[in-house]
Chain A
Amino acid sequence: MTMLFDKIFAHSTRIIAITVLLVVAAIFTILFQESLLSIQSNGFAFLSDTKWAPNLEKFGALPSIMGSIISTFLAMILAIPVAIGVAIFLSEIAYERLKAPIGISIELLAAIPSVVYGMWGLFYFVPIVRDIFGGMGIGMLTAGIVLSIMILPFMAAVTRDAMNTTPDILKESAYALGATKWNVVKDVIIPYAKAGIIGSLILALGRAIGETMAVTFVMGNVHKISMDITQPATSIPVTLANEFTEADSDLYYSSLFELALILLVISFVIIAVAKSYFLRRTRRTS
Protein backbone atom coordinates (compact mmCIF):
# COMPACT_ATOMS: atom_id res chain seq x y z
CA MET A 1 0.00 0.00 0.00
CA THR A 2 2.71 2.42 1.07
CA MET A 3 4.84 1.25 -1.81
CA LEU A 4 2.00 1.89 -4.22
CA PHE A 5 1.40 5.38 -2.90
CA ASP A 6 5.11 6.10 -3.06
CA LYS A 7 5.08 5.20 -6.75
CA ILE A 8 1.93 7.19 -7.47
CA PHE A 9 3.42 10.27 -5.81
CA ALA A 10 6.71 9.99 -7.66
CA HIS A 11 5.03 9.50 -11.01
CA SER A 12 2.52 12.31 -10.59
CA THR A 13 5.25 14.82 -9.75
CA ARG A 14 7.16 13.67 -12.78
CA ILE A 15 4.22 13.88 -15.14
CA ILE A 16 3.45 17.40 -13.91
CA ALA A 17 7.04 18.52 -14.40
CA ILE A 18 7.10 17.08 -17.90
CA THR A 19 3.81 18.84 -18.65
CA VAL A 20 5.71 22.13 -18.49
CA LEU A 21 7.81 21.00 -21.43
CA LEU A 22 4.76 19.74 -23.28
CA VAL A 23 2.93 23.05 -22.83
CA VAL A 24 5.89 25.02 -24.12
CA ALA A 25 6.18 22.66 -27.09
CA ALA A 26 2.43 23.06 -27.66
CA ILE A 27 2.76 26.86 -27.59
CA PHE A 28 5.36 26.78 -30.34
CA THR A 29 3.46 24.18 -32.38
CA ILE A 30 0.08 25.88 -32.16
CA LEU A 31 1.49 29.33 -32.93
CA PHE A 32 3.28 27.87 -35.91
CA GLN A 33 0.17 26.06 -37.09
CA GLU A 34 -1.95 29.19 -36.76
CA SER A 35 0.72 31.16 -38.64
CA LEU A 36 0.85 28.72 -41.54
CA LEU A 37 -1.72 30.53 -43.65
CA SER A 38 0.18 33.80 -43.23
CA ILE A 39 3.54 32.16 -43.87
CA GLN A 40 2.19 30.62 -47.06
CA SER A 41 0.37 33.61 -48.48
CA ASN A 42 2.55 36.45 -47.14
CA GLY A 43 5.83 34.61 -47.54
CA PHE A 44 9.08 36.25 -46.55
CA ALA A 45 7.71 39.59 -47.68
CA PHE A 46 5.88 39.56 -44.35
CA LEU A 47 9.17 40.44 -42.67
CA SER A 48 10.16 43.20 -45.08
CA ASP A 49 6.85 44.72 -46.19
CA THR A 50 6.01 48.04 -44.61
CA LYS A 51 2.34 48.13 -45.52
CA TRP A 52 -0.17 46.77 -43.00
CA ALA A 53 -3.65 47.23 -44.45
CA PRO A 54 -6.07 44.58 -43.18
CA ASN A 55 -8.92 45.92 -45.33
CA LEU A 56 -6.80 45.25 -48.42
CA GLU A 57 -5.57 41.93 -47.01
CA LYS A 58 -2.06 43.36 -47.06
CA PHE A 59 0.14 42.36 -44.16
CA GLY A 60 3.66 43.69 -43.81
CA ALA A 61 5.15 43.24 -40.36
CA LEU A 62 8.19 45.46 -40.71
CA PRO A 63 6.64 48.46 -38.89
CA SER A 64 5.77 46.25 -35.91
CA ILE A 65 9.15 44.54 -35.90
CA MET A 66 11.07 47.79 -36.28
CA GLY A 67 8.87 49.34 -33.60
CA SER A 68 9.73 46.55 -31.18
CA ILE A 69 13.41 46.91 -31.93
CA ILE A 70 13.51 50.72 -31.73
CA SER A 71 11.36 51.07 -28.61
CA THR A 72 13.37 48.39 -26.82
CA PHE A 73 16.62 49.94 -27.97
CA LEU A 74 15.55 53.36 -26.69
CA ALA A 75 14.47 51.83 -23.40
CA MET A 76 17.77 50.01 -22.98
CA ILE A 77 19.87 53.07 -23.84
CA LEU A 78 18.01 55.11 -21.26
CA ALA A 79 17.70 52.46 -18.57
CA ILE A 80 21.17 50.87 -18.59
CA PRO A 81 23.22 53.85 -17.33
CA VAL A 82 20.63 54.73 -14.71
CA ALA A 83 20.29 51.11 -13.60
CA ILE A 84 24.05 50.72 -13.28
CA GLY A 85 24.18 54.02 -11.41
CA VAL A 86 21.48 52.82 -9.03
CA ALA A 87 23.28 49.49 -8.61
CA ILE A 88 26.60 51.20 -7.81
CA PHE A 89 24.79 53.51 -5.43
CA LEU A 90 23.09 50.62 -3.66
CA SER A 91 26.09 48.36 -3.43
CA GLU A 92 28.90 50.85 -2.78
CA ILE A 93 27.75 54.34 -1.90
CA ALA A 94 24.57 54.33 0.15
CA TYR A 95 24.83 54.26 3.92
CA GLU A 96 24.27 50.81 5.33
CA ARG A 97 21.04 52.04 6.90
CA LEU A 98 19.68 53.23 3.53
CA LYS A 99 20.65 50.19 1.48
CA ALA A 100 17.85 47.93 2.66
CA PRO A 101 14.95 50.39 2.48
CA ILE A 102 15.93 51.75 -0.93
CA GLY A 103 16.75 48.29 -2.25
CA ILE A 104 13.44 46.89 -1.06
CA SER A 105 11.41 49.78 -2.48
CA ILE A 106 13.07 49.23 -5.84
CA GLU A 107 12.24 45.54 -5.71
CA LEU A 108 8.66 46.32 -4.77
CA LEU A 109 8.38 48.79 -7.64
CA ALA A 110 9.48 45.97 -9.93
CA ALA A 111 6.41 44.07 -8.73
CA ILE A 112 3.91 46.81 -9.67
CA PRO A 113 1.94 45.63 -12.71
CA SER A 114 3.17 47.08 -15.98
CA VAL A 115 -0.35 48.22 -16.85
CA VAL A 116 0.02 50.81 -14.07
CA TYR A 117 3.21 52.15 -15.66
CA GLY A 118 1.36 52.38 -18.97
CA MET A 119 -1.50 54.28 -17.39
CA TRP A 120 0.88 56.69 -15.68
CA GLY A 121 2.64 57.19 -18.99
CA LEU A 122 -0.60 58.02 -20.76
CA PHE A 123 -1.88 60.54 -18.23
CA TYR A 124 1.31 62.13 -16.93
CA PHE A 125 4.09 61.59 -19.41
CA VAL A 126 2.34 62.01 -22.74
CA PRO A 127 1.42 65.66 -21.95
CA ILE A 128 5.06 66.44 -21.13
CA VAL A 129 6.31 64.92 -24.38
CA ARG A 130 3.56 66.79 -26.22
CA ASP A 131 4.62 70.09 -24.66
CA ILE A 132 8.28 69.56 -25.50
CA PHE A 133 8.11 67.97 -28.94
CA GLY A 134 4.66 68.95 -30.15
CA GLY A 135 2.41 66.47 -31.92
CA MET A 136 0.23 64.09 -29.96
CA GLY A 137 2.80 63.10 -27.39
CA ILE A 138 2.06 59.49 -28.23
CA GLY A 139 4.71 57.53 -30.09
CA MET A 140 7.99 55.73 -30.16
CA LEU A 141 9.87 58.13 -27.88
CA THR A 142 7.21 58.10 -25.19
CA ALA A 143 6.95 54.32 -25.41
CA GLY A 144 10.72 53.95 -25.11
CA ILE A 145 10.85 56.20 -22.06
CA VAL A 146 7.91 54.55 -20.29
CA LEU A 147 9.37 51.14 -21.09
CA SER A 148 12.75 52.19 -19.69
CA ILE A 149 11.13 53.34 -16.45
CA MET A 150 9.18 50.10 -16.24
CA ILE A 151 12.24 47.87 -16.59
CA LEU A 152 14.47 50.10 -14.45
CA PRO A 153 13.60 48.54 -11.06
CA PHE A 154 14.07 45.00 -12.34
CA MET A 155 17.30 45.90 -14.10
CA ALA A 156 18.71 47.80 -11.13
CA ALA A 157 17.79 45.04 -8.68
CA VAL A 158 19.38 42.23 -10.67
CA THR A 159 22.47 44.31 -11.53
CA ARG A 160 22.91 45.14 -7.84
CA ASP A 161 22.56 41.45 -6.98
CA ALA A 162 25.25 40.62 -9.53
CA MET A 163 27.58 43.32 -8.13
CA ASN A 164 26.96 42.13 -4.59
CA THR A 165 28.42 38.73 -5.44
CA THR A 166 31.90 40.33 -5.38
CA PRO A 167 33.55 39.11 -2.16
CA ASP A 168 34.30 41.90 0.36
CA ILE A 169 37.85 40.63 0.74
CA LEU A 170 38.51 41.25 -2.96
CA LYS A 171 37.31 44.83 -2.70
CA GLU A 172 39.34 45.30 0.49
CA SER A 173 42.48 44.12 -1.27
CA ALA A 174 42.06 46.83 -3.86
CA TYR A 175 41.42 49.46 -1.20
CA ALA A 176 44.51 48.16 0.63
CA LEU A 177 46.56 49.09 -2.45
CA GLY A 178 45.27 52.65 -2.32
CA ALA A 179 42.37 52.29 -4.76
CA THR A 180 39.50 54.77 -4.78
CA LYS A 181 35.85 53.72 -4.83
CA TRP A 182 35.66 54.17 -8.57
CA ASN A 183 38.88 52.14 -9.02
CA VAL A 184 37.29 49.33 -7.03
CA VAL A 185 34.05 49.47 -9.01
CA LYS A 186 35.79 49.67 -12.38
CA ASP A 187 38.70 47.31 -11.78
CA VAL A 188 37.32 44.76 -9.36
CA ILE A 189 33.53 44.69 -9.10
CA ILE A 190 32.63 45.12 -12.77
CA PRO A 191 35.23 42.61 -14.05
CA TYR A 192 34.31 40.15 -11.31
CA ALA A 193 30.55 40.41 -11.84
CA LYS A 194 30.77 40.97 -15.61
CA ALA A 195 28.88 37.84 -16.62
CA GLY A 196 26.15 38.45 -14.08
CA ILE A 197 25.76 42.10 -15.06
CA ILE A 198 25.63 41.42 -18.79
CA GLY A 199 23.23 38.53 -18.20
CA SER A 200 20.97 40.75 -16.13
CA LEU A 201 20.92 43.43 -18.79
CA ILE A 202 20.11 40.93 -21.52
CA LEU A 203 17.40 39.40 -19.38
CA ALA A 204 15.90 42.85 -18.94
CA LEU A 205 16.10 43.27 -22.72
CA GLY A 206 14.21 40.01 -23.18
CA ARG A 207 11.51 41.23 -20.84
CA ALA A 208 11.32 44.67 -22.41
CA ILE A 209 10.84 43.37 -25.93
CA GLY A 210 7.82 41.30 -24.93
CA GLU A 211 6.33 43.92 -22.64
CA THR A 212 2.85 44.85 -23.77
CA MET A 213 0.93 46.97 -21.32
CA ALA A 214 3.56 49.59 -20.54
CA VAL A 215 3.75 50.55 -24.23
CA THR A 216 0.28 49.85 -25.58
CA PHE A 217 -1.14 52.99 -23.92
CA VAL A 218 1.43 55.34 -25.35
CA MET A 219 2.58 53.92 -28.70
CA GLY A 220 -0.36 54.89 -30.88
CA ASN A 221 -0.67 51.70 -32.98
CA VAL A 222 0.19 53.31 -36.29
CA HIS A 223 1.78 50.95 -38.82
CA LYS A 224 4.30 53.37 -40.19
CA ILE A 225 8.04 53.51 -39.98
CA SER A 226 8.98 57.07 -39.25
CA MET A 227 12.42 58.57 -38.83
CA ASP A 228 10.85 60.93 -36.33
CA ILE A 229 10.59 59.08 -33.03
CA THR A 230 8.04 61.52 -31.66
CA GLN A 231 5.51 60.16 -34.16
CA PRO A 232 2.98 57.46 -33.29
CA ALA A 233 4.17 53.97 -34.18
CA THR A 234 3.56 50.38 -33.22
CA SER A 235 5.38 47.29 -32.04
CA ILE A 236 4.58 43.59 -32.07
CA PRO A 237 2.91 43.48 -28.65
CA VAL A 238 1.05 46.73 -29.35
CA THR A 239 -0.31 45.39 -32.63
CA LEU A 240 -1.39 42.17 -30.96
CA ALA A 241 -3.06 43.92 -28.03
CA ASN A 242 -4.94 46.34 -30.24
CA GLU A 243 -5.95 44.16 -33.15
CA PHE A 244 -6.36 40.60 -31.94
CA THR A 245 -10.01 41.02 -31.00
CA GLU A 246 -10.74 42.96 -34.18
CA ALA A 247 -9.32 40.60 -36.74
CA ASP A 248 -12.10 39.69 -39.15
CA SER A 249 -10.45 37.43 -41.67
CA ASP A 250 -8.49 34.21 -41.52
CA LEU A 251 -5.42 35.79 -43.05
CA TYR A 252 -5.59 38.72 -40.61
CA TYR A 253 -5.66 36.26 -37.69
CA SER A 254 -2.92 34.18 -39.13
CA SER A 255 -0.74 37.25 -39.66
CA LEU A 256 -1.23 38.24 -36.03
CA PHE A 257 -0.28 34.72 -34.95
CA GLU A 258 2.84 34.95 -37.04
CA LEU A 259 3.69 38.20 -35.23
CA ALA A 260 3.17 36.42 -31.92
CA LEU A 261 5.39 33.58 -33.07
CA ILE A 262 8.14 36.01 -34.13
CA LEU A 263 7.93 37.76 -30.76
CA LEU A 264 8.08 34.47 -28.89
CA VAL A 265 11.09 33.24 -30.86
CA ILE A 266 12.98 36.53 -30.44
CA SER A 267 12.41 36.81 -26.71
CA PHE A 268 12.95 33.08 -26.16
CA VAL A 269 16.35 33.30 -27.82
CA ILE A 270 17.36 36.47 -25.95
CA ILE A 271 16.33 35.09 -22.56
CA ALA A 272 17.93 31.72 -23.31
CA VAL A 273 21.22 33.44 -24.17
CA ALA A 274 21.08 35.49 -20.97
CA LYS A 275 20.27 32.48 -18.83
CA SER A 276 22.45 29.82 -20.35
CA TYR A 277 25.47 31.84 -21.36
CA PHE A 278 25.77 34.46 -18.64
CA LEU A 279 23.63 33.41 -15.72
CA ARG A 280 24.46 29.73 -15.32
CA ARG A 281 22.88 28.38 -12.19
CA THR A 282 25.53 27.55 -9.67
CA ARG A 283 24.24 24.81 -7.42
CA ARG A 284 25.98 22.73 -4.90
CA THR A 285 25.77 19.08 -5.79
CA SER A 286 23.79 17.33 -3.14
Chain B
Amino acid sequence: MATIINIPEAKAIQVNNLEFTYNGAPEPSLIDITMPIAKNSVTALIGPSGCGKTTLLRAFNRMHDLYPGHTYNKGEILFEGRNIIDPKEDLINLRIKIGMIFQKPTAFPMSIFDNVAYGLRLQGTKNKTELNDRVEKALKDAAIWKETADRLKDDANGLSGGQQQRLCIARAIAVEPDVLLFDEPTSALDPISTQGIERLVTELKEKMTIIIVTHNMQQAARVSDYTGFMYLGELIELGKTEEMFVTPKERLTNEYITGKFG
Protein backbone atom coordinates (compact mmCIF):
# COMPACT_ATOMS: atom_id res chain seq x y z
CA MET B 1 0.00 0.00 0.00
CA ALA B 2 1.64 3.12 1.22
CA THR B 3 5.36 3.59 0.85
CA ILE B 4 6.88 4.73 4.12
CA ILE B 5 10.65 4.89 4.20
CA ASN B 6 12.66 4.14 7.27
CA ILE B 7 14.27 7.16 8.79
CA PRO B 8 17.74 6.94 10.25
CA GLU B 9 17.34 9.80 12.78
CA ALA B 10 15.74 9.59 16.16
CA LYS B 11 11.97 9.96 16.03
CA ALA B 12 10.26 12.87 17.72
CA ILE B 13 6.81 11.48 17.04
CA GLN B 14 5.52 8.16 15.77
CA VAL B 15 1.97 7.87 14.44
CA ASN B 16 0.53 4.37 14.31
CA ASN B 17 -2.67 3.37 12.46
CA LEU B 18 -4.40 6.66 13.31
CA GLU B 19 -8.02 7.04 12.29
CA PHE B 20 -9.97 10.26 12.94
CA THR B 21 -13.55 11.33 12.18
CA TYR B 22 -15.03 14.84 12.31
CA ASN B 23 -18.25 15.38 14.24
CA GLY B 24 -21.16 14.01 12.23
CA ALA B 25 -19.07 13.08 9.21
CA PRO B 26 -20.01 9.75 7.61
CA GLU B 27 -16.43 8.85 6.69
CA PRO B 28 -13.20 9.20 8.65
CA SER B 29 -10.94 12.05 7.52
CA LEU B 30 -7.76 10.23 8.48
CA ILE B 31 -7.46 6.58 7.56
CA ASP B 32 -4.86 4.27 9.02
CA ILE B 33 -2.04 6.80 9.13
CA THR B 34 1.32 5.37 10.14
CA MET B 35 4.17 7.84 10.02
CA PRO B 36 7.43 8.62 11.77
CA ILE B 37 8.50 12.23 12.33
CA ALA B 38 12.27 12.66 12.40
CA LYS B 39 13.74 14.69 15.25
CA ASN B 40 15.37 18.06 14.46
CA SER B 41 14.27 17.98 10.87
CA VAL B 42 11.49 19.46 8.79
CA THR B 43 8.69 17.18 7.66
CA ALA B 44 6.30 18.60 5.07
CA LEU B 45 2.77 17.37 4.49
CA ILE B 46 1.44 17.93 0.99
CA GLY B 47 -1.63 16.89 -0.95
CA PRO B 48 -4.75 18.33 -2.59
CA SER B 49 -7.27 20.26 -0.46
CA GLY B 50 -9.33 17.99 1.74
CA CYS B 51 -6.68 15.27 1.78
CA GLY B 52 -6.38 15.45 5.57
CA LYS B 53 -3.00 17.13 5.93
CA THR B 54 -4.27 19.92 8.20
CA THR B 55 -6.45 17.42 10.06
CA LEU B 56 -3.38 15.33 10.81
CA LEU B 57 -1.39 18.37 11.88
CA ARG B 58 -4.11 19.47 14.29
CA ALA B 59 -4.12 16.00 15.86
CA PHE B 60 -0.52 16.46 17.06
CA ASN B 61 -1.48 19.21 19.54
CA ARG B 62 -5.05 17.95 19.97
CA MET B 63 -6.52 21.15 18.50
CA HIS B 64 -9.54 19.08 17.47
CA ASP B 65 -10.46 18.71 21.11
CA LEU B 66 -11.54 22.38 21.25
CA TYR B 67 -14.67 21.37 19.39
CA PRO B 68 -16.91 18.61 20.68
CA GLY B 69 -17.76 15.48 18.79
CA HIS B 70 -14.59 14.90 16.81
CA THR B 71 -13.23 11.43 17.54
CA TYR B 72 -9.93 9.63 17.32
CA ASN B 73 -11.34 6.21 16.41
CA LYS B 74 -8.21 4.17 16.71
CA GLY B 75 -4.46 4.20 16.55
CA GLU B 76 -1.95 6.19 18.55
CA ILE B 77 0.42 9.13 18.39
CA LEU B 78 3.55 8.42 20.39
CA PHE B 79 5.41 11.43 21.81
CA GLU B 80 7.94 11.23 24.63
CA GLY B 81 7.10 7.56 24.98
CA ARG B 82 3.38 7.94 25.61
CA ASN B 83 0.24 7.95 23.50
CA ILE B 84 -0.88 11.58 23.40
CA ILE B 85 -4.34 10.89 22.05
CA ASP B 86 -5.11 9.15 25.29
CA PRO B 87 -8.15 10.93 26.81
CA LYS B 88 -6.19 11.42 30.03
CA GLU B 89 -3.41 13.37 28.28
CA ASP B 90 -2.79 16.81 29.88
CA LEU B 91 -3.58 19.03 26.90
CA ILE B 92 -2.19 22.21 28.38
CA ASN B 93 1.26 20.75 28.95
CA LEU B 94 1.12 18.98 25.59
CA ARG B 95 0.43 22.27 23.82
CA ILE B 96 3.24 23.97 25.67
CA LYS B 97 5.59 21.33 24.21
CA ILE B 98 4.03 21.23 20.74
CA GLY B 99 3.54 24.75 19.42
CA MET B 100 1.60 25.88 16.38
CA ILE B 101 1.67 28.58 13.70
CA PHE B 102 -1.53 29.24 11.74
CA GLN B 103 -2.58 30.07 8.14
CA LYS B 104 -2.99 33.70 9.03
CA PRO B 105 -0.96 35.81 11.45
CA THR B 106 -2.73 35.74 14.81
CA ALA B 107 -1.26 38.60 16.80
CA PHE B 108 -3.21 38.99 20.05
CA PRO B 109 -4.76 42.39 20.75
CA MET B 110 -1.87 43.48 22.99
CA SER B 111 1.61 44.92 22.64
CA ILE B 112 4.45 43.25 20.74
CA PHE B 113 6.24 42.47 23.99
CA ASP B 114 3.14 41.07 25.66
CA ASN B 115 2.46 38.87 22.66
CA VAL B 116 5.84 37.19 22.90
CA ALA B 117 5.74 37.08 26.68
CA TYR B 118 2.26 35.57 26.68
CA GLY B 119 3.24 31.91 26.76
CA LEU B 120 5.99 32.57 29.29
CA ARG B 121 3.63 34.40 31.60
CA LEU B 122 1.09 31.60 31.31
CA GLN B 123 3.77 29.30 32.67
CA GLY B 124 4.37 31.59 35.58
CA THR B 125 7.51 33.48 34.54
CA LYS B 126 7.16 36.76 36.41
CA ASN B 127 10.77 37.88 36.73
CA LYS B 128 11.20 41.08 34.68
CA THR B 129 14.78 40.46 33.57
CA GLU B 130 14.10 36.89 32.63
CA LEU B 131 11.04 37.92 30.63
CA ASN B 132 12.99 40.66 28.85
CA ASP B 133 15.83 38.30 28.01
CA ARG B 134 13.64 35.54 26.72
CA VAL B 135 11.42 37.87 24.68
CA GLU B 136 14.52 39.44 23.11
CA LYS B 137 16.00 36.04 22.33
CA ALA B 138 12.74 34.80 20.78
CA LEU B 139 12.40 37.92 18.66
CA LYS B 140 16.01 37.52 17.52
CA ASP B 141 15.54 33.84 16.72
CA ALA B 142 12.43 34.73 14.73
CA ALA B 143 14.45 37.38 12.84
CA ILE B 144 12.18 40.24 13.81
CA TRP B 145 14.21 41.86 16.59
CA LYS B 146 15.55 44.64 14.39
CA GLU B 147 12.13 45.84 13.36
CA THR B 148 10.63 45.68 16.81
CA ALA B 149 13.39 46.49 19.30
CA ASP B 150 12.40 50.13 19.66
CA ARG B 151 8.63 49.61 19.60
CA LEU B 152 8.03 46.68 21.93
CA LYS B 153 5.24 48.57 23.68
CA ASP B 154 3.34 49.21 20.43
CA ASP B 155 0.18 47.34 19.49
CA ALA B 156 1.14 44.19 17.60
CA ASN B 157 -1.60 44.79 15.05
CA GLY B 158 0.39 47.72 13.69
CA LEU B 159 2.94 45.32 12.18
CA SER B 160 2.73 44.13 8.59
CA GLY B 161 1.41 40.67 7.78
CA GLY B 162 4.85 39.14 7.36
CA GLN B 163 6.11 40.78 10.54
CA GLN B 164 3.05 39.57 12.44
CA GLN B 165 3.66 36.01 11.28
CA ARG B 166 7.27 36.18 12.46
CA LEU B 167 5.99 37.66 15.74
CA CYS B 168 3.74 34.62 16.08
CA ILE B 169 6.74 32.40 15.49
CA ALA B 170 8.65 34.33 18.16
CA ARG B 171 5.70 33.87 20.50
CA ALA B 172 5.65 30.14 19.82
CA ILE B 173 9.42 29.58 20.20
CA ALA B 174 9.70 31.75 23.31
CA VAL B 175 8.37 28.84 25.36
CA GLU B 176 10.96 26.56 23.71
CA PRO B 177 8.68 23.84 22.39
CA ASP B 178 10.06 20.48 21.24
CA VAL B 179 7.87 20.42 18.17
CA LEU B 180 6.51 23.30 16.10
CA LEU B 181 3.55 22.79 13.77
CA PHE B 182 3.12 25.12 10.79
CA ASP B 183 -0.29 25.15 9.12
CA GLU B 184 0.22 26.77 5.70
CA PRO B 185 2.09 29.62 7.38
CA THR B 186 2.68 31.65 4.24
CA SER B 187 -0.71 31.36 2.53
CA ALA B 188 -1.63 34.91 3.51
CA LEU B 189 1.79 36.45 2.80
CA ASP B 190 3.57 38.12 -0.10
CA PRO B 191 6.57 36.40 -1.78
CA ILE B 192 9.22 38.36 0.15
CA SER B 193 7.69 37.65 3.56
CA THR B 194 7.26 34.03 2.46
CA GLN B 195 10.97 33.78 1.77
CA GLY B 196 11.73 35.11 5.24
CA ILE B 197 9.46 32.55 6.91
CA GLU B 198 10.92 29.70 4.86
CA ARG B 199 14.46 30.66 5.84
CA LEU B 200 13.34 30.75 9.46
CA VAL B 201 11.82 27.29 9.24
CA THR B 202 15.07 25.76 8.03
CA GLU B 203 17.02 27.57 10.75
CA LEU B 204 14.69 26.54 13.55
CA LYS B 205 15.10 22.82 12.97
CA GLU B 206 18.39 22.86 14.83
CA LYS B 207 16.46 23.48 18.02
CA MET B 208 13.19 21.70 17.37
CA THR B 209 11.26 19.31 15.23
CA ILE B 210 9.13 20.94 12.57
CA ILE B 211 6.05 19.71 10.75
CA ILE B 212 4.73 21.97 8.03
CA VAL B 213 1.53 21.68 6.02
CA THR B 214 1.73 23.41 2.69
CA HIS B 215 -0.32 23.62 -0.47
CA ASN B 216 2.79 24.70 -2.32
CA MET B 217 4.99 21.85 -3.56
CA GLN B 218 7.94 24.13 -4.26
CA GLN B 219 7.79 25.27 -0.67
CA ALA B 220 7.88 21.69 0.54
CA ALA B 221 10.85 21.02 -1.72
CA ARG B 222 12.67 24.13 -0.47
CA VAL B 223 12.25 23.73 3.27
CA SER B 224 11.74 20.10 4.16
CA ASP B 225 13.91 17.04 4.78
CA TYR B 226 11.02 14.61 4.56
CA THR B 227 7.78 14.92 2.67
CA GLY B 228 4.55 13.07 3.22
CA PHE B 229 1.99 12.99 0.42
CA MET B 230 -1.60 12.54 1.53
CA TYR B 231 -4.64 11.78 -0.54
CA LEU B 232 -8.26 11.23 0.55
CA GLY B 233 -7.30 10.83 4.19
CA GLU B 234 -4.49 8.38 3.61
CA LEU B 235 -0.75 8.86 3.72
CA ILE B 236 0.27 7.63 0.29
CA GLU B 237 4.00 8.10 0.55
CA LEU B 238 6.59 9.37 2.98
CA GLY B 239 10.11 9.85 1.70
CA LYS B 240 13.20 11.96 1.75
CA THR B 241 12.22 15.19 0.07
CA GLU B 242 14.97 15.25 -2.53
CA GLU B 243 14.15 11.70 -3.56
CA MET B 244 10.40 11.98 -3.51
CA PHE B 245 10.21 14.94 -5.84
CA VAL B 246 12.55 13.26 -8.35
CA THR B 247 11.63 9.60 -8.11
CA PRO B 248 8.33 9.09 -6.36
CA LYS B 249 7.55 5.47 -5.58
CA GLU B 250 3.79 5.74 -5.84
CA ARG B 251 1.84 6.44 -9.04
CA LEU B 252 -0.48 8.89 -7.21
CA THR B 253 2.47 10.87 -5.84
CA ASN B 254 3.91 11.08 -9.30
CA GLU B 255 0.64 12.33 -10.76
CA TYR B 256 0.26 14.95 -8.04
CA ILE B 257 3.77 16.36 -8.23
CA THR B 258 3.64 16.51 -12.00
CA GLY B 259 0.43 18.51 -11.74
CA LYS B 260 -2.02 15.96 -13.17
CA PHE B 261 -4.55 16.76 -10.41
CA GLY B 262 -5.02 18.79 -7.26
Contact = CB atoms under 8 A, between A and B. Distances in A.
A225 B152 CA distance: 52
B99 A191 contact: no
24 contacts: A96-B68, A167-B106, A169-B104, A169-B106, A171-B66, A172-B66, A172-B102, A173-B102, A173-B108, A173-B168, A176-B63, A176-B102, A176-B172, A177-B96, A177-B118, A177-B119, A177-B175, A178-B95, A178-B123, A178-B175, A183-B122, A191-B109, A191-B110, A194-B109
Interface of A: 95-96, 167, 169-180, 183, 187-188, 191-192, 194
A176 B61 contact: yes
Contact of A178 (B69, B96, B103, B104): B96
The residue in A176, A187, A188, A191 that gathers the most chain B C-beta atoms within 10 A of its C-beta is: A176
B171 interface: yes
Interface string B80-117: 00000000000011011001101110101110000000
Given A169-B104, A178-B92, A187-B108, 5 more contacts: A176-B61, A176-B63, A178-B175, A179-B122, A194-B109
Contacts of B172: 176-177
Contacts of B109: 188, 191-192, 194
Given A96-B67, A183-B122, A170 B95 contact: no
B131 to A, nearest CB: 15
Contacts of A167: 106
A170 B106 contact: yes
Interface of B: 61, 63, 66-69, 92-93, 95-96, 99-100, 102-104, 106, 108-110, 118-119, 122-123, 168, 171-172, 175
A169 B101 CA distance: 10
Nearest to B69: A96
A194 B68 CA distance: 27
A194 B104 CA distance: 22
A56 B200 CA distance: 84
A128 to B, nearest CB: 38
B108 A176 contact: no
Nearest to A181: B66
Contacts of A183: 122
A132 B171 CA distance: 54
Nearest to B174: A177
Chain A, interface SS category: helix
A272 B260 CA distance: 59
B118 A176 contact: no
Contacts of B119: 177-178
A180 B67 CA distance: 14
A173 B100 contact: yes
A180 B118 CA distance: 13
A93 to B, nearest CB: 11
A142 B102 CA distance: 51
A51 to B, nearest CB: 51
Contacts of B102: 169, 172-173, 176
A187 B118 contact: yes
Nearest to A194: B109
Nearest to A172: B63
List the 10 shortest-distance A-B pairs measured between CB atoms, nearest first. A176-B100, A178-B96, A173-B106, A177-B119, A191-B109, A178-B95, A178-B92, A192-B109, A170-B106, A169-B102
Contacts of B100: 172-173, 176
Nearest to A189: B109
A177 B96 CA distance: 5
B225 to A, nearest CB: 23
Nearest to B119: A177
A95, A187, A192 pick with most chain B CB within 10 angstroms: A187
Nearest to A180: B92
A232 to B, nearest CB: 46
Contacts of B122: 177-179, 183
A175 B119 CA distance: 10
A2 B99 CA distance: 65
B68, B104, B122, B175, most chain A CB atoms within 10 A: B122
A175 B63 contact: yes
Most B CB contacts (10 A, CB to CB) among A167, A171, A173, A178 go to A178
A143 B100 CA distance: 51
Nearest to A178: B96
A174 B93 contact: no
Contacts of A172: 63, 66, 100, 102, 106
B36 to A, nearest CB: 23
Contacts of B118: 174, 177, 187
Nearest to A177: B119
Nearest to B67: A96
